[in-house]
Structures are given as C-alpha cells and as structure tokens.
Amino acid sequence: MSLFGGKKESYKDKKSLVIYFSRADENYSVGYITKGNTEVIAEYIRDITGADLFKIEGVEGYSADYNTCIGAPVYWGIMPQEMITQLEKLDFTGKTVRVFTTHEGSGLGSIPSQVKKVCKGANVLEDSIAIRGGSVNSAKGKIENWV
C-alpha cells in the first residue's frame, strides 16, 4: 500500500513522492518473489510520473515464510503497522494524497479511511485504486490510466 501526491496535469510543476511498504519472500499467490507486489506498482508510478520513491522498512522485518508472517495480527484489511508508524510522523499539510493498494481479495479494505485519519493535514482524493497482487506484472496500463 502506498501514497503519492499530485495530479497528472501538475506533475511537471509539483514534486510527487510514492510512500510505500512492500514485502518480498513468500507471497500469497505468486510463490517466492524477490520484489514485493506493491513495490512493482510503486516503480510503475515512478516510471510514469518521475516521482521519488520512499520505501518504509520495519526495524525487524517479517519472516520470509508466509504462514509465520500471517501470525502477525497486522495487514488484515488495514495498513501494515510500519506504514501507520511512519505516516503518523509526517506533516501532510498542503499535500494531496492518492491511495493505491495491492491485495488478494480485500480491495482497498478500509485503507482510504485509515489514511485520512493517519495523514494529518492531507487532502486525500477519492479515486483510490486496488490492484490484485498476483497480477501486478500486467497492471502497468491500469496504473497509467489512473495517474
């Protein structure tokens, strides 16, 4: 899940930043991966818009094994705790935020409303997009249309 600011028309004048969390290793639908699904989407947005990337990393990281990882009571329909901890520290006053998620069935979950609560001062747009994690490699067109 991640965020970035700015609209297509204004990319040339405004600086955009993709803030995201993404986990490699064993994945729900695509086996072991060296790059997380959300990172694939974040890089599409960078390639299309020239935005900078800001990857949030946990202090301890998750287990490579999916079942062990699922033992952590985070993610389920909401943002990983790493995202929340980082976003709460930032001041979004005057910033426009657009939300995208990768998922395996929950879609956006409650992430857009969570972002509104956590990102202090942000103008969160209502056009969030959800991409299925197992199909990120064919999702560049969708992202191009969205941004």
Residues that bind ligand FMN in the complex, under the rule CB under 6 A: 22-23, 27-28, 36-39, 69-70, 72, 75-77, 102-106, 133
Closer by beta carbon to ligand FMN, 9 or else 59: 59
Closer by beta carbon to ligand FMN, 31 or else 94: 31
Q: Taking the CB of residue 45, how many other CB atoms lie within 10 A of it?
A: 23
Chain centre to alpha carbon of residue 51? 14
Tokens 């985070």 belong to 74
Are 11 and 107 in contact, with CB atoms under 8 Å apart? no
Q: Which residue is nearest to ligand FMN (CB)?
A: 133
To the nearest whole angstrom, how small is the minimum distance from the Cβ of residue 121 to ligand FMN? 26
To the nearest whole angstrom, how small is the minimum distance from the Cβ of residue 103 to ligand FMN? 3
Closer by beta carbon to ligand FMN, 65 or else 88: 65
Are 78 and 114 in contact, with CB atoms under 8 Å apart? yes
Are 112 and 124 in contact, with CB atoms under 8 Å apart? yes
